[in-house]
């Protein structure tokens, strides 16, 4: 809105400052754009050098707001008007390229496409409305000042919205493989690959020299709050289609572990019926996966982070594996979830290690790096080695700051193993 308002009303604002000659109006109107071009280059370089976008967007937007607000009070002071029109132009025009880095930072795949389309639609509508809004305010008040204040207010609201958006992702999905390899990882796991082409992911794995350790089967409507459908009666056909899709990806990506999420148990639901559905679906997944050399893993998840989840304890998960009776069904032992739900991890590992197909870690209780909180991971790592566990250990935690910055614990542990 600020950009369109500036473009349409710049000559009028210069003329209102007391410049009558048409040629001089044109010359003076060019000065803010020259300032904007210089500012765009400088701030763009700063944003790239610091790998930061949010504040590099907010600060120019606030510059634009200040510029518009002062222009509204400049009256016939030509010099003051040009200086602050230059500030407004530098701020507003610098925002545009920086803004477009934000949607793809926290939206991926089809969500990114839909989000960008929606943003374009709103932006085009604002561009259509802003000149007419300023004209209407000018007719109501007899000056352009009210319109400038309105544009300043819109920019401030935009800054608030940007600061309240989710923090940007450190890397776009397909760029994370190279970043993981650079930080010394040999394998990777992620939630879902289905918004991306299998061949593209495989190429990134090969380029980075990484092994795909695990990903999840389709979970139902994830954005709508579903957390798996394996235990949901009436969704069996959808579950089977999801397993087929997941195995197609696994065959290309090369992972031998596929996590099947149980889902949420609705309040008042018949647990026995959901259990029967779960066992039947897991057995089906195991049969389909066996031919592809893939092991199905089941993860108990704590009810603090995921209230209502069907599978919550190690004993429950291992009992399901036993009931299914397939050699390629094992438990995904997440030490974070297990500590919250039941504790006594050393005993649990000794008791169940033969049925464990994948391990995940995080600090407890805040789910940050594993070097903080109530678990002593060096002991648990040594125990896993002593018990003969030779599978992957996935780092499923939320970094306190950045991912790379938080890997000091891993470097220290590796040094201790030399």
Instruction: Tell me what the mean pLDDT of segment 263-279 comes to.
Output: 97
Of 135, 189, 288, 299, which one is the catalytic site residue?
Answer: 299
358 three-class SS: strand
Residues 139 and 93 grouped into a single domain: yes
Tens of pLDDT, residue by residue over 204-224, are 999 999 999 999 999 999 989
Yes or no: say if 365 and 330 are a contact pair by the CB < 8 Å rule: no
Residues 34 and 106 grouped into a single domain: yes
Residue among 216, 219, 204 at smallest CA distance from 249? 216
pLDDT over 90 (residue 410): yes
Residues 243 and 110 grouped into a single domain: no
Q: How many structural domains does the chain have?
A: 2
Q: What local confidence, expressed as pLDDT, does residue 377 receive?
A: 96
Residues 213 and 149 grouped into a single domain: no
Whole-number average pLDDT of the chain: 89
Structure-model confidence comparison of residues 42 and 147, the more confident one: 42
Q: What local confidence, expressed as pLDDT, does residue 112 receive?
A: 64
Yes or no: say if 334 and 309 are a contact pair by the CB < 8 Å rule: no
Residues 116 and 249 grouped into a single domain: no
Instruction: Tell me what the mean pLDDT of segment 11-34 comes to.
Output: 82
Q: What local confidence, expressed as pLDDT, does residue 152 receive?
A: 84
The residue from 164, 199, 221 where one domain ends is: 164
Domain extent, residue 42, equals 1-164
Residues 160 and 179 grouped into a single domain: no
Of 186, 396, 405, 415, which one is the catalytic site residue?
Answer: 396
Residues 182 and 79 grouped into a single domain: no
Residues 147 and 183 grouped into a single domain: no
Residues 181 and 78 grouped into a single domain: no
The residue from 164, 181, 207 where one domain ends is: 164
Q: What local confidence, expressed as pLDDT, does residue 81 receive?
A: 81
Distance CA 267, CA 235 (A): 18
Residues 230 and 376 grouped into a single domain: yes
pTM of the entire predicted model: 0.65
Tens of pLDDT, residue by residue over 36-83, are 899 989 988 888 776 677 888 899 989 988 988 888 787 778 888 888
Q: What local confidence, expressed as pLDDT, does residue 168 receive?
A: 57
Chain mean position to CA 86: 36
Q: What local confidence, expressed as pLDDT, does residue 301 receive?
A: 98
Distance CA 284, CA 278 (A): 10
pLDDT over 70 (residue 111): no
The residue from 164, 181, 209 where one domain ends is: 164
Give yes or no: 288 in active site.
no
Distance CA 170, CA 105 (A): 8
Instruction: Tell me what the mean pLDDT of segment 141-147 comes to.
Output: 78
pLDDT tier, 343 (very low <50, low <70, confident <90, very high otherwise): very high
Residues 323 and 201 grouped into a single domain: yes
Give yes or no: 396 in active site.
yes
CATH number at residue 194: 3.20.20.150
Residues 159 and 177 grouped into a single domain: no
CATH number at residue 9: 1.20.1250.20
356 Cβ contact partners less than 8 Å away, ≥ 6 residues apart: 330, 331, 332, 333, 349, 389, 391
């Amino acid at each position: 809105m600020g950009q369109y308002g500036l473009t349409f009303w710049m000559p009028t604002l210069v003329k209102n400052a007391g410049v009558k000659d048409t040629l001089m109006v044109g010359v003076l109107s060019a000065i803010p754009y020259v300032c904007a071009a210089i500012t765009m280059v400088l701030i763009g370089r700063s944003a790239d050098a610091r790998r930061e976008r949010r504040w590099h967007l907010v600060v120019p937007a606030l510059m634009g707001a200040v510029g518009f607000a002062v222009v509204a009070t400049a009256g016939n002071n030509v010099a003051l008007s040009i200086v602050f029109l230059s500030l407004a132009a530098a701020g507003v025009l610098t925002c545009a390229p920086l803004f477009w880095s934000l949607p793809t930072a926290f939206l991926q795949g089809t969500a990114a496409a839909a989000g960008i389309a929606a943003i374009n639609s709103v932006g085009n509508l604002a561009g259509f409305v802003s000149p007419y809004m300023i004209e209407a305010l000018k007719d109501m008040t007899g000056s352009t000042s009210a319109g400038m204040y309105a544009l300043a207010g819109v920019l401030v609201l935009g800054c608030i919205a940007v600061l309240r958006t989710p923090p940007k992702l450190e890397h776009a999905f397909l760029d994370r493989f190279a970043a993981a390899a650079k930080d010394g990882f040999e394998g990777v796991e992620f939630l879902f690959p289905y918004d991306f082409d299998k061949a593209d992911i495989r190429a990134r794995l090969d380029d980075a020299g990484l092994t795909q350790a695990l990903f999840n089967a389709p979970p139902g409507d994830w954005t709508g709050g579903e957390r798996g459908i394996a235990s949901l009666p009436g969704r069996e056909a959808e579950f089977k289609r999801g397993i087929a899709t997941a195995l197609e990806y696994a065959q290309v990506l090369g992972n031998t572990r596929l996590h099947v999420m149980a889902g949420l148990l609705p309040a008042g639901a018949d647990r026995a019926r959901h259990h029967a559905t779960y066992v039947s679906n897991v057995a089906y997944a195991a049969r389909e996966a066996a031919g592809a050399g893939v092991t199905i893993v089941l993860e108990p998840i704590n009810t603090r982070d995921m209230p209502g989840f069907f599978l919550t304890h190690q004993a429950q998960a291992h009992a399901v594996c036993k009931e299914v009776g397939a050699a390629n069904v094992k438990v995904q032992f997440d030490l974070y979830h297990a500590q919250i739900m039941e504790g006594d991890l050393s005993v649990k590992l000794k008791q169940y290690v033969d049925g464990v197909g994948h391990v995940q870690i995080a600090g407890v209780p805040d789910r940050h790096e594993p070097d903080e909180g109530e678990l002593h991971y060096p002991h648990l790592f040594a125990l896993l080695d002593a018990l003969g566990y030779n599978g992957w250990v996935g780092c499923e935690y939320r970094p306190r700051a950045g991912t790379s910055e938080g890997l000091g614990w891993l470097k220290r542990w590796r040094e201790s193993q030399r």
